Structure 1
Amino acid sequence: MTPATGPALVFDGDCAFCTRCADVARRLLPADVRVVPWQSTDLASAGVSPARAQTEVLWFGRGGDVSGGAPAVAAALRAAGRPWSLLGVLLSVPPVRWVAPIGYRLVAANRHRLPGGTAACRVPPPDAG
């Protein structure tokens, strides 16, 4: 298992759409940023559940901070350097920061329908427990 330390972008390796996005991230991010599937990451060491990792991309910062969803995408873009960092900053400031999670949830809920997506990309339903 890969330790859950930063900087790292952690994605759902069972999802073809997420894997394609991770391939793009590998090209954009600096060499010291790991882009790894959650299935091979020691999430417990960072206090992150597999259920969370199945439903949102995660960013593990250098200082041990963990963010998910739209804030994780923003952090990764900021780490990518210009011109991508400008988009990351934009995603981090109001009012864009307020609506970005809605867009992220819309994409995540429909990732199996997006280019490259497969039935395995469908986000599991929340536990009824």
Structure 2
Amino acid sequence: MSKDLRKNLIAAILSPLIALPVLGFCYFYAGIENYTSVSSLISGVGFGVSIGVGSLFYFYPLMLIYGLPISLLLQKLNLFKLPVVLILSILPVFLLSLFSEFNRETLVLHLLVLSMGLTSWLIYNKLR
């Protein structure tokens, strides 16, 4: 296995895990906005992390089917730079949001996809 393919596989395996803290933070923010009690805030964050664990079953195949080939193609074309990675990572969600109403869930999905693209790029560039 080549070094670049190994680095891409590691980045594709680790980058969807960013969904857990991002969704936890989003539910924390939503809990503060609708603050009623500390226990409801903690249960909201727990619910966000559990939604994140469930969404990993969606994000892992998406990363392996869409993200990994795109990153390999960008590296082959010498375009594996952060702005290009972020634009191509958000493109499917952006196209989906053109046909639906833009609401908080869509915003969270945009945030998740951007954070996964950023995390994948950072992991790839930090591995030796």
TM-score > 0.5, shorter chain as reference: no
The higher-RCO structure (CA 8 Å, 6+ apart) is 2
TM-score (norm 1): 0.27
When you count strand as a share of all residues, which structure comes out higher?
Answer: 1
